[in-house]
Amino acid sequence: MNIDIRESGGGIGQAVDFSLNPGETAHFLHPEQIITYRGPSDGRSDRLMNMKGMYRKKKLIQADFCGPCEFTAALPSGFAVKTVELREGSDLLYDFRNIFFYSSGIEMQSRILHIKNMLITKDAIKMKFSGAGTVGLLTEGAVYEAELHPSEPLYVDARSLFAYPENAKLELTVYGNTLASQHMNYHWKMTGVGTVLFHAGPTGSRLREEMDQDNLFKRILREIIPFGGVIIK
């Protein structure tokens, strides 16, 4: 499967071109975003999702494309696609709502999270892919990767964590001196082996709010009062 991401240049959306070779298959969980198609009329086959998929994505239909064919998906402003190449042995966990497509040769399995993880992520289940192929993820903001270390922790803002290895050890915490720990958001302290994905979108809302609306006095109070960022809106 060949994928070409076209940027609009004006920040109003993104188009993604797909090309499937003969015998290749791709499964799309947001088929309404497909806006052009070239290929045999029977190259697309829509079907009902299973009950788990219906519940997680609040949708009924997914589309399966079989090559040879070409088609284009359109994404609205603020959304982008991050492609991840999976290899045998990969154990990354994803939020089902962020999955845009996956190629043939990949299987999904559900994983129930620990209670503390549910409370922070507001999600009870993550999806794990097995096999080799390509997965497309819908993101809000740029997505970056960082390598985990077995003993040296990586701290990731809980709002920004996008995907992480199933083997990773997670501990909800804050870090830094007293002032730092009082006003920062909770972070995941992570150790293990593999790659973590995190995105930049959610953490920018407070900065935008401060730049647009807050006066200096309110910003100072947020920083010096214990848990001021929570108390002072």
Closest CA to 33 of 74, 68, 84, 86: 74
Q: Let me know: does 159 contact 186? Beta carbons within 8 Å.
A: no
pLDDT of residue 148: 94
From residue 12, how far is each of 44, 183, 187, 233 by CA, in Å?
28, 34, 32, 30
Point out the least confidently predicted range of 41-45, 67-71, 123-127, 140-144.
123-127
List, for residues 168-226, the tens digit of each pLDDT value. Answer: 888 889 999 988 888 788 899 999 998 899 887 655 555 555 555 555 556 556 666 66
Closest CA to 186 of 158, 161, 222: 158
List, for residues 55-103, the tens digit of each pLDDT value. Answer: 454 557 889 999 999 999 998 887 888 888 888 777 888 888 888 999 9
Alpha-carbon dihedral 191, 188, 210, 201, rounded to 10 degrees? 70
What is the percentage of the chain residues whose pLDDT exceeds 90? Answer: 28
Q: Which amino acid is at 220?
A: I
pLDDT at position 104 over 60: yes
6: left (phi over 0), alpha (psi -120 to 50) or beta: beta
Give me the mean pLDDT over the 19-30 stretch: 94
